[in-house]
Chains A and B, each alone.
Chain A
């Protein structure tokens, strides 16, 4: 599979000019340069995220991933991290189908390339829509933070849906944390009504989970990655059209599939790190 790279050549031949000392084509070398620079951008983002976490002011807690991301569409029960794990799984599988498309391309098997590339695009679309659900869940929130008039903090049992009116009889709050002491009924509702400030879900200036920078990093890092996935899907689609039209069959090699494959694997690679540092650690 590595072709020229697997040949044993002396350094005189390799570096003697008239050939690439790396035994790769111009396009492949350039996509690697691009990926290194993109990797530096993402590592810059993740390192600044780490910096923000390490330099927290005393008394400020960084939110825990298992608590924030605990919903799966279609299930009302709390399933910590299951959906993110499913997204990771989908992206890894689409990476596998992509590497199979590259392998089929090496055998000049046009049908195989079309099949695997198509499945890769489906996986990518699945991932992007899962990301949309995550964002909507994150922005809507589930336990609004209530700053009570006496200086204490409470968390709602459940955020009201849209403009729904809260019934004082079934109203409940938790003091201190989302699992803290529960206060219920009309008295609790009175405290809620007299509250200084209520934070629902998340936006760019405040969020119910923790410090404002938490939501900002979430939006920027997963948004930037999601945009990479989206553009990856678009590029994959263009290349799929070219494969179907037989452009690469006529050219004699499927290196273009290999190049978009490199980009796609890179997107998967970044997600592996985002998954670890944003959701797990």
Chain B
């Protein structure tokens, strides 16, 4: 089937047998890393609270940082965004990240404000 709109880039995407071996090694590395992080998160969740309950706040931040590490590996390695041109990478990530930082900031700020207001004035 002739597809003139995609033929140029899609046919280009192939790779050889030995390149495939290198790529599979990278895939295995990322797979082990993601599994390890998930196991670590569960162990933290189960044990840290009983060991040091007063530092639970820090565990939550550890979770968030580890999640962002996992997300980076999934997007950059599994979704191959790291192999694409820089312009498409920025076009996908920048507007999304900017908008989301704004949304998180405004929602958390307002949420805390409502919480505090109810405590102080009702």
Contacts and interface: CB of A to CB of B under 8 A. Distances in A.
Given A89-B35, A100-B27, A253-B10, A26 B74 contact: no
Interface stretch (A91-99, A134-142, A233-241): A91-99
A24 interface: yes
B96 A44 contact: no
Contacts of A281: 60, 63-64
Given A66-B46, A81-B45, A5 B83 contact: yes
B98 to A, nearest CB: 12
Interface string B1-35: 10101111111111111011001100100110011
Contacts of B14: 3, 106-108, 253
- Of the four ranges (under 10, 10 to 19, 20 to 34, 35 or more), the interface on chain B belongs to 35 or more
Given A6-B83, A51-B107, A106 B74 contact: no
A27 interface: yes
Contacts of A52: 111
A85 B42 contact: yes
Contacts of B49: 66
B20 A252 contact: no
A21 B87 contact: yes
B20 A265 contact: no
B78 A265 contact: yes
B111 to A, nearest CB: 3
Contacts of A261: 79
Contacts of B70: 272
Contacts of A66: 45-46, 49
Contact of B74 (A22, A85, A268): A268
A251 B10 CA distance: 10
Interface in A100-151: 100, 102-103, 106-108
11 contacts: A27-B6, A32-B92, A51-B108, A54-B111, A66-B46, A92-B35, A106-B13, A106-B14, A251-B3, A272-B70, A280-B41
